[in-house]
């Protein structure tokens, strides 16, 4: 009997060519996002350095720069004396001299000690030099209340700075924005102020690949809706989104939520486009009502979209008092979800 022929062994398949790795979405905290943005910038450009109170060995007052001293050394993580006017002025001088400083001010209240440097020097130098001298400095500072730190550490003064020509004012409200806004801020030839709300540092979020990012100088619709436009920024975004979800669940009201992101310049087009579709608007601003950013937004809507409105404009702002220390009083002074609901419901049901 003939021996059965053995089937030939299959040859080993050639290895498939490796495809380039797709950048993955990364989950991190707001604090980590800011730190990674600083680290990336310092690796990318030797002119970038950080200066401010306790940014080195201590790791920053909110632990944003923790670990960077070991990685980059004291020449690029510079602890400064407790003099905001002095170290902000030094940062401006370094920027004029060709460096790319990131100046950290512990809290927005303390930035008033450097207001002369920011307003009378950084914001005006390009104009006063006839366009010959830019000031590419980035100034980061913590803003907002909710931590029981009383009146000297808890206010939202970014609306004051948004009043000043020559400055760009950014308010990252999400982890993704905190991660992505620093690079274009450093690339800007003019001074940029970044306002980071203190209650956001521990918040976690997903950071998608960089090519999914929306340009940082444009407002963004965080929630689509057709009944009313809610305009907000920074630390108030989460409360405004919560209010929008409750309006939908309890009242069938679909609110569109706009995150400004850039306070100067304001993205009027996105705001007005939304208002012309919803015909109603409520501005939620942690600043005080009088002379506020919310007043500016309301005025622009009234000037350019008055005949598109079906109801009066409303604002939800902090109580006009120095921020209290006691927790129940602090919460009473701040805009809350219930206050947003109370402002919206009469506009839609009238």
Token pair in block for residue 288: 């005080």
DSSP string, 192-241: EEEEEEGGGTT-EEEE--GGGPPPTTS-EEEE--SSEEEEE-GGGHHHHH
How many domains does the chain contain in total? 2
pLDDT of residue 258: 98
| 4 is a domain residue | no
**How does DSSP classify residue 308?**
G
- Tell me what pLDDT residue 257 has: 98
pLDDT in tens, 300-334: 999 999 999 999 999 999 999 999 999 999 999 99
User: What's the pLDDT score for residue 213?
Assistant: 60
Q: Which residues are catalytic?
A: 84, 153
Q: Are strands 262-264 and 168-170 parallel, antiparallel or unpaired?
A: antiparallel
Range of the domain at 145: 27-212
On whether both 197 and 333 belong to a single domain, the answer is no
Same domain, 73 and 195: yes
- Does residue 2 sit within a domain? no
Q: Are residues 293 and 315 in the same domain?
A: yes
Query: What value does the mean pLDDT take over residues 113-118?
Result: 97
**Pair (255, 175) in one structural domain:** no
Q: 95 and 42: one domain?
A: yes
The answer to whether the pTM exceeds 0.85 is yes
Same domain, yes or no: 301 and 189: no
Assigned domain for 11 exists: no
- Residue at which a domain ends, from 188, 212, 236: 212
Please confirm whether the linkage preceding 265 is cis (ω < 30° from 0): yes
Q: pLDDT category, 217, cuts 50, 70, 90?
A: confident
The whole-chain average pLDDT of the chain stands at 92
At 21 the pLDDT is 53
Identify whether 174 is part of a domain: yes
Question: Is residue 185 in a domain?
Answer: yes
The reply to whether 5 falls in a domain is no
Kindly report the number of other CB atoms within 10 A of residue 18's CB atom. Answer: 6
DSSP 9: P
Looking at residue 72, what is its pLDDT?
97
CATH number of residue 320's parent domain: 3.40.50.920
pLDDT (average), residues 160-185:
96
Q: What is the mean pLDDT of residues 73-84?
A: 96
Residue 196 and residue 277 in one domain: no
Shared domain for 141 and 77, answered yes or no, is yes
CA–CA separation, 315 and 310 (whole Å): 16
In a domain, 15, yes or no: no
Among 174, 196, 212, which residue terminates a domain? 212
The answer to whether 297 and 231 have CB atoms below 8 angstroms apart is yes
Phi-psi region of 103 (alpha: psi -120 to 50; beta: other; left: phi over 0): beta
């Amino acid at each position: 009997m003939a021996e059965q022929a053995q089937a030939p062994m299959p040859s080993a398949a050639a290895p498939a060519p490796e495809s380039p790795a797709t950048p993955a979405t990364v989950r991190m905290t707001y604090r980590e996002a800011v730190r990674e943005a600083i680290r990336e910038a310092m690796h990318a450009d030797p002119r970038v350095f950080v200066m401010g109170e306790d940014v080195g060995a201590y790791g920053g007052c909110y632990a944003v720069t923790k670990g960077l001293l070991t990685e980059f050394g004291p020449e690029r993580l510079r602890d400064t004396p407790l003099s905001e006017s002095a170290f902000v002025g030094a940062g401006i001088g370094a920027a004029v001299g060709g460096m790319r400083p990131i100046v950290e001010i512990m809290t927005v209240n303390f930035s008033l000690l450097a207001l002369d440097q920011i307003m009378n020097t950084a914001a005006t130098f390009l104009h006063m030099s006839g366009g010959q001298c830019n000031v590419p400095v980035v100034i980061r500072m913590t803003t907002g209340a909710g931590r029981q730190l009383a009146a000297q550490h808890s206010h939202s003064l970014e609306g004051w700075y948004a009043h000043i020509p020559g400055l760009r004012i950014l308010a990252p409200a999400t982890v993704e924005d905190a991660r992505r806004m620093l690079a274009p801020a450093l690339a800007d030839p003019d001074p940029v102020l970044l306002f980071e709300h203190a209650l956001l540092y521990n918040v976690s979020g997903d950071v998608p690949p960089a090519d999914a990012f929306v340009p940082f100088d444009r407002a963004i619709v965080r929630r689509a809706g057709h009944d009313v436009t809610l305009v907000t920024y920074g630390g108030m975004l989460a409360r405004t989104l919560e209010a929008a979800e409750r309006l939908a669940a309890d009242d069938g009201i679909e609110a569109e939520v706009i995150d400004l992101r850039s306070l100067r310049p304001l993205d009027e087009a996105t705001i007005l486009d939304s208002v012309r579709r919803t015909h109603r608007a409520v501005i939620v601003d942690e600043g005080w009502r009088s002379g506020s950013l919310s007043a500016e937004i309301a005025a622009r809507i009234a000037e350019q979209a008055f005949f598109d409105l079906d109801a009066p404009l409303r604002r939800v702002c902090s109580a006009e008092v120095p921020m209290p220390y006691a927790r129940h009083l602090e919460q009473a002074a701040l805009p809350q979800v219930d206050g947003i609901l109370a402002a919206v419901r009469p506009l839609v049901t009238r």
